[in-house]
Amino acid sequence: TQLLEQSPQFLSIQEGENLTVYCNSSSVFSSLQWYRQEPGEGPVLLVTVVTGGEVKKLKRLTFQFGDARKDSSLHITAAQTGDTGLYLCAGADNNNDMRFGAGTRLTVKP
């Protein structure tokens, strides 16, 4: 079983602060994705990374895939209240099915 560990589990910060959340595994993934989920809704894809060492930027969000393709990080610069939500990472297993971590619940306070 390929397990994805996300940390921290909970994070509460003030608007304007920076933050980084992590997704780690002992397994190698062919690709890794980050999703954001708001209460009562399904997760929405933010980014897919497929190449070891890859860095992708979406406005204030920076995603990095580890060189060995076992881990990833999400960095948010100058967080806004609209960034509040559950951030999930998911890795593709040998059957190309997506396996999810437990998520980091981010709260950005005004």
Question: Taking the complex as a whole, how short is the minimal distance between the CB of residue 96 and other proteins, in angstroms?
Answer: 5
Residue 99 interacting with other proteins (CB under 8 A): yes
54 CB-near residues (< 8 Å, 6+ apart): 64, 65
3 CB-near residues (< 8 Å, 6+ apart): 25, 26, 27, 99
CB 34 within 8 A of CB 55: no
- Cis peptide before 8, with omega less than 30 degrees from 0? yes
Residue 58 interacting with other proteins (CB under 8 A): no
Residue 12 interacting with other proteins (CB under 8 A): no
Residue 101 interacting with other proteins (CB under 8 A): yes
Nearest to 101 by CA among 74, 81, 83: 74
Interacting span for other proteins (CB under 8 A) from 11-19, 37-45, 58-66, 73-81: 37-45
- For the four alpha carbons of 74, 83, 40 and 86, in that order, the dihedral sign comes to positive
Question: Taking the complex as a whole, how short is the minimal distance between the CB of residue 71 and other proteins, in angstroms?
Answer: 16
x/- binding map, residues 38-57, to other proteins, per CB under 8 A?
A: --xxxxxx--x-x-------
Give me the residues that bind other proteins (CB under 8 A), please.
4, 6, 9, 30-31, 33, 35, 40-45, 48, 50, 88, 90, 92, 96-103
